[in-house]
Amino acid sequence: MNDPKEYIKDLSYNTKDVFFNDDLDKINLDKIIENEYKNTFEILDKLDIIKYIKDNYKINYKEPELEILEYIPIIIGGYSRSKNKIIFSKKSIESLIDEQLEFFGYKEIKRSTNDTQGIKYLNMSFNSIFLYPFCINRNIREAIAESIIRSKMLHERWHSFDYMILDKLEKDSTIKDRDYLLTILNNHDNLELRASAFEVVDYLVNGFYKHEKGLAAAYSNIPTCREFIDKLERKEDIYTYVPYDLGFCYGNTVVAANRSSLKENIYNIIDDIIHLDKERVINVIKHYGDNSDKLLHD
């Protein structure tokens, strides 16, 4: 279906009780950020992603510290290379939660204790509609906050990997593909698209890829991503934050291509993201489905 918004509307249920919940504003962002900092580490640890990158890329990985601030202009979260800190802005998160609630204006949401029925969708794109599944609990604002913070925490954790790999590359001339990796890692756009790709893959590998409604978002995002690439190449519009959306689309394509094998292929996917640049991202998105066996980096 060409219009993912309409497609997802067909999967939704109409009721108003979530938006008239007295608990909407009663969330503790500090606690949610701290919990997702721990949760994302546990996700990476459970999949042995940290160990895999340490062993295969010989990095001296140090777990980033967490810093929570009331407000940082523009950003929701960031990674400080010099301090090895992941930093979050509470006011920016609150603003994004409000934007997501507005996005739900095209439909109303049913609260459910059933995992599958309780999967709904956020729009995490900067330039179009890119749908992100998330699970609704009793408090819609809390559920949105957890989803936003988890995805952004994974994004910033990848930045910590990239910068530690870059540190190793700068000191060790014997590493395979060193020149190529140095070139792509010294390009800020590549850093953001890689982190965004990892964010999508690791967010969805934590269970959503097993659900029909979780994969539905990945499939419905593909036509949107191809249209985005076409417009980008024709230079029809002036876009902002292009690397982020390219990374979202690439991660989404990886999820759609791997489907139920996503978890068992995670190390190949990690290697692919480490070797990822803008040219490859665009090529893979354009030709997804043509030669899926060539999707990952050799």
C-alpha 285/C-alpha 224 separation (Å) is: 11
The DSSP 8-state label assigned to residue 3 in this structure reads: -
The pLDDT of residue 290 is: 57
Cite the beta strand spans of 1-157 per DSSP E. Answer: 65-69, 77-80, 85-89, 119-123, 131-135
Residue 9 has pLDDT above 60, yes or no: no
For residue 24, name the pLDDT band (cuts at 50, 70, 90): very low
Determine the average pLDDT of the residues in 34-52.
96
The pLDDT of residue 138 is: 65
C-alpha 45/C-alpha 33 separation (Å) is: 18
Residue 23 has pLDDT above 60, yes or no: no
At 107 the three-state DSSP class reads coil
Q: CA-based angle 293:119:207, to the nearest 5? A: 45
From 51-55, 184-188, 226-230, the region with the lowest mean pLDDT = 226-230
The pLDDT of residue 285 is: 92
Q: Which of 52, 43, 94 is nearest to 204 (CA)?
A: 43
Cα 166 versus chain centre, distance: 21
4, 220 Cβ separation under 8 angstroms: yes
Higher pLDDT, 136 or 61: 61
Residue 34 in tokens:
């701290």
Residue 113 has pLDDT above 70, yes or no: no
For residue 222, name the pLDDT band (cuts at 50, 70, 90): very high
Q: What is the domain partition of the chain in residue ranges?
A: 4-294
Ordered strands of the 77-80 beta sheet:
65-69, 85-89, 77-80
At 68 the three-state DSSP class reads strand
